[in-house]
Amino acid sequence: MKNQKYKILVLSDLKDTTNNVLKNTANLSKVIDGEINFFHVKKPTDVVERESQLSTFRTISEKHTITKKRIEEFVSHTKGNYGVTINYSYTFGNVKNEIEDYINKHNPDIIVLGKRKSNPFRLGDNVTDFVLNTFKGIILISGNESTIEFNDQLSLGFLDGKNPFLNIDFVNELFERTKKPLKSFKVVSKGDNLLENNTTTEFKTVEYVFERSGNTVQNLTNYLSKSKVDLLLIDGNFKENNNEGLNQPDIKSVINQLDISLLISNQKNFSKTI
């Protein structure tokens, strides 16, 4: 039996947080034997700033040089510190169209995005929301400040259960690697059992249950902020309306308020054994 490499695609806006995004990506790639590809799209309106044709050509040439240099600075910094190979490319055009074409051509297993401080679902041309709605795979949203160390002290949390992740080989490897109990955060209807308890699964799990109310999202967010979770796993198949569990607006609100890294499952078979 032979194991394939996981294909990891980093979509970047080249902001200062890119270093942390690549740092977390490099740490993940070492654990799962991943192949990293870095991709950036620059909008034509960011390039064409002058009126004459000659000036336009000169501007495009300058932007190519600046963009390539900035990408190489990020890539070389990560390569020098983490010893990983990062392939990179960039293009000019419609952000969403170019990203969709790249995904269709290269078929990545995992897409990594940086998190905007104001709203992670407004990355450039709303790239994060676009990827969540179109990509059927795993999405890692890297926190701005936190570095994920994939070792035995990794603290993993789940929002509304871990079932979507149980058939993903590399996530199970993370379960096995950590010595810390998994933390499950769940929302239930009024009257259900609200006590914190240890679940009897293959991996030791501590479950935190919250009663649905008008303050559910805020209470959950506050508790998550204090729980010292390094990586929060979320089922990306959001329910539009859901009396038990969290619906799409709830989950987006939780994500917007948290500054930790997130791993989102969007339904794909991730067994890499052939």
Angle at the Cα of 273 from the Cα atoms of 269 and 274, rounded to 5 degrees: 105
Lowest average pLDDT, out of 11-15, 108-112, 204-208, goes to 204-208
Residue 2 has pLDDT above 90, yes or no: no
Contacting residues for 55 by C-beta, under 8 A, at least 6 apart: none
All structural domains of the chain with their residue ranges: 1-143, 149-274
Q: For domain 149-274, say whether CATH 3.40.50.620 is its number.
A: yes
pLDDT in tens, 190-207: 655 544 444 445 678 888
Phi/psi for 62 (5° steps) reads: -65, -40
Please answer whether residues 165 and 233 qualify as being in contact, where contact means their C-beta atoms are separated by less than 8 angstroms: yes
Average pLDDT, the chain: 80
Identify which has the larger pLDDT, 28 or 239.
28
CA distances from 107 to 102, 152, 161, 273 (A): 8, 31, 27, 17
Residue 3 has pLDDT above 60, yes or no: no
**Under DSSP, is residue 248 helix (H, G, I), strand (E, B) or coil?**
helix
Please answer whether residues 144 and 115 qualify as being in contact, where contact means their C-beta atoms are separated by less than 8 angstroms: yes
pLDDT at residue number 163: 67
pLDDT at residue number 46: 60
Per CATH, the architecture of 1-143 is what? 3-Layer(aba) Sandwich (3.40)
pLDDT in tens, 126-185: 788 889 888 988 999 998 877 888 888 999 998 876 666 777 888 888 888 888 988 988
For tokens 């009663």, name the residue. 211
Tokens of 148: 């994920």
Lowest average pLDDT, out of 51-60, 165-174, 217-226, goes to 51-60
Same fold, 1-143 and 149-274: yes
| pTM for the model | 0.84
